[in-house]
Amino acid sequence: MTTASRSWAAFLLALALILASQASAQQPSTGGIVLTLLGGETLQAKSLAFAGGKVTGEGIQAISLEDVRQIRIAPATPEAKPAALLHLLGGGRLSAKSVTIASDQCQVETSLAGKLSIPLDQLRGLRLEPAAANAEFDKALAAPSPDKDRLFIKVEDKVDSVAGVLKSLGEKEFEFDLDGESRKLPREKLFGLVVAQGGAEDEPVKALVTLKEGSTLGGEIKSLSGGKLALALPGGSKVELPWESLASIALRSSRLAFLSDLKPVEEEQRSIAFLDVPWQRDRSVQGKTLTLGPRTFDKGIGCHAECRLSFAADGKWDVLAAVIGIDAETGGKGDCIFTVLADGESVFTKRVKGTDPPQEIQVEISRAKQVTLAVEAGMGLDLSDHADWCDVRFIKSTK
């Protein structure tokens, strides 16, 4: 190879390295950790540490947990057939390979987080046949007794329930008190259990941790060290979760409030061409996952034009943020006018069609006492006007 040829080859190699470096800088690693802030901005990090209410890491400066909405670590792949499912205070759901109960403690073995010890008073309910539906169990779980456990016991080909007090759950049998008399039955006879909630307070938690196998645990993050995340559960007990078992962490900031968690102070719904269709919390107006284009959302409001929902803001919020659009369930149909009003005055309006991509909005609402979300029909009456206010939330600035 001539000197000129070698020089030209070296130039091409250097150019390729520069272009590769630029491409790498513009395409964040899919294996990295992604932090989503309250306003929707995202940050990439290669590692994280928690201490003193702040998160730090390689690639980011120290950030208050109050400024972070979500941390995505890895994809979640729910376990197909767990042996048991625990319903915990704070909205947690823990898939288990095995569970026993003794001395008011649940000893749980999980596929990724290993062995955990959870106080019985942190348990709302336990399903030993997670795949089997039972309406009575669901009803009892939604409204537990304040003083007695409810045990769901299999009798021949059906499930009956009795009010009593569970004493223990072993690998082969369970023991409970029924009307002052102690009884024992084989473990396979127990369908599930709803625990009495006399002194428990199921208040919103500061963090909801999702494991890779789909389980969720609610509590307060205390620290991350030695490859383990320390999480204080409601009531004060603590569990340590291996970092490699985590999929994501959703954080509840005092600077943010989702409107789907609030009760409207006023509601108006009126369809032009159909019967009135009620709005939905965290679902589309058809009761499906909120979907705009290729994106799906866990939080938000789905409604049908025409709809007006007013929420108390009490002058303490600075911004209303959302992703708006017409739900993908319409197949590209629909034509709506989205409007935000602060104390009755329009501060944002946008016409959106079913073929439009999702639109991020941030609207200033400083000092507003009341904020209204309004959706009106565009062209073509209100046919397919399935309007979504995805991730709609109040945000308080740090100023």
Average pLDDT over residues 34-44: 90
Count of domains for the chain:
2
| CA 254 from centroid of its chain's CA atoms | 16
pLDDT over 90 at 224, yes or no: no
pLDDT over 90 at 27, yes or no: no
Place of tokens 């208040």: 203
Q: Are residues 367 and 277 in the same domain?
A: yes
pLDDT band at 273 (very low <50, low <70, confident <90, very high): low
The enclosing H or E element of 5 equals: helix 3-26
pLDDT over 50 at 33, yes or no: yes
* Residue type present at position 332: G
Which pTM does this prediction carry? 0.72
Of 194, 221, 242, which residue is a domain's last?
194
| CATH code of the domain in which 363 resides | 2.60.120.1060
What residues contact 218, with CB distance under 8 A and at least 6 apart? Answer: 88, 89, 90, 91, 92, 205, 207, 208, 209, 233, 234
- Of 25-34, 250-259, 298-307, least confident by mean pLDDT is 25-34
Place of tokens 């965290």: 282
Cβ pair 69, 251 in contact under 8 A = yes
Average pLDDT over residues 269-280: 78
- Of 78-87, 178-187, 288-297, least confident by mean pLDDT is 78-87
Which tokens in the block code for residue 304? 């049908």
pLDDT over 50 at 9, yes or no: no
Q: Are residues 181 and 260 in the same domain?
A: no
- Of 50-59, 239-248, 327-336, least confident by mean pLDDT is 50-59
pLDDT band at 121 (very low <50, low <70, confident <90, very high): confident
pLDDT over 80 at 15, yes or no: no
Residues in the chain: 399
By three-state DSSP, how is residue 89 classified? helix
323 is a domain residue: yes
pLDDT over 60 at 271, yes or no: yes
pLDDT over 50 at 10, yes or no: no
pLDDT score recorded for residue 40: 86
365 is a domain residue: yes
Average pLDDT over residues 66-88: 88
Q: Are residues 295 and 184 in the same domain?
A: no
169: containing domain: 84-194
71 is a domain residue: no
Mean residue pLDDT across the chain: 86
Q: Are residues 272 and 386 in the same domain?
A: yes
Average pLDDT over residues 342-346: 97
